[in-house]
Amino acid sequence: MAIRVRLFRPGDAPRIAEIVQRCLRDVNSRDYPQHIIDTMCAHFTAERFIELSASRLIYLAEGDRVVGTVSREGNKVYTMFVDPDFAAQGIGRQLMQQVEVSAMRDGYDHMETGASITAHGFYLRLGYTDVRTSETEFGLNYILRKALPPAQAARPL
Ligand SMILES: CC(C)(COP(=O)(O)OP(=O)(O)OC[C@H]1O[C@@H](n2cnc3c(N)ncnc32)[C@H](O)[C@@H]1OP(=O)(O)O)[C@@H](O)C(=O)NCCC(=O)NCCS
């Protein structure tokens, strides 16, 4: 399935919330206690994504339907989730490439992300390195960074 990355529209919010809830319940629940999963599920509703779209650039990976999402605010990465049915097909990597190129074009020299225990290995694989850990309302997070090349080196998408 060919995947393209595009920006969020308000009508996407229910599908994004559905993907996030599925990830949390089916995947992240292996690494986090139930009360943290419940807190996150209550937080990441469709309405929340519409609110967040005012301050963040929300990207979607779409084939026949929307299958993944990631957001950027400045050089910070948020809410990276891929539908578990479409995991391990390079969709997370494709979303991160979009985020990194757009941050490069805005002049940032590095990206920063707060990774779940579940996604830590994914970010390491993409070249991010550990800075510290952080205890949040959503449990343990790894703060990682990756240097970005200057904007003129960015390939067009
Ligand atoms: C983490 C997540 C976004 C990865 O998305 P994905 O589309 O499955 O990842 P990709 O297929 O693009 O993987 C890219 C590379 O990272 C590797 N990788 C993916 N997940 C990994 C993990 N958990 N640990 C180690 N490596 C991982 C892949 O093997 C691949 O390596 P390769 O290029 O050498 O083959 C997805 O599994 C997910 O949504 N997880 C649950 C939600 C979550 O925790 N989100 C992060 C919140 S911070």
Query: How many other CB atoms are there within 10 angstroms of residue 153's CB atom?
Result: 9
> What is the rounded distance in angstroms from the CA atom of residue 91 to the CA atom of residue 71?
14
Best of 18, 22, 123, 125 for a ligand 1 pocket test (most atoms within 8 Å of beta carbon): 125
Whose C-alpha lies nearest to ligand 1, atom 10? 90
Whose C-alpha lies nearest to ligand 1, atom 34? 125
Domain count within the chain: 1
* Mean pLDDT by groups of 10 residues along the chain of 157 residues: 96 98 98 97 98 98 98 98 98 98 96 98 98 96 96 61
CB 16 within 8 A of CB 61: no
CB 75 within 8 A of CB 90: no
- Residue spans of alpha helices (H) in 6-141: 13-26, 34-43, 46-52, 91-105, 120-125
Q: What pLDDT does residue 150 have?
A: 85
Q: What pLDDT does residue 90 have?
A: 98
CATH number of the domain residue 94 falls in:
3.40.630.30
DSSP 59: E
Q: What pLDDT does residue 119 have?
A: 98
Q: What pLDDT does residue 155 have?
A: 59
> How far apart are the CA of 92 and the centre of ligand 1, in A?
6
Whose C-alpha lies nearest to ligand 1, atom 24? 121
> How far apart are the CA of 39 and the centre of ligand 1, in A?
23
- Paired tokens of 157: 């998408």
Distances, alpha carbon 13 to alpha carbons 37, 74, 154, in Å: 19, 21, 30
Q: For residue 97, what are the domain limits? A: 4-153
> What is the rounded distance in angstroms from the CA atom of residue 54 to the CA atom of residue 150?
27
Q: What pLDDT does residue 152 have?
A: 67
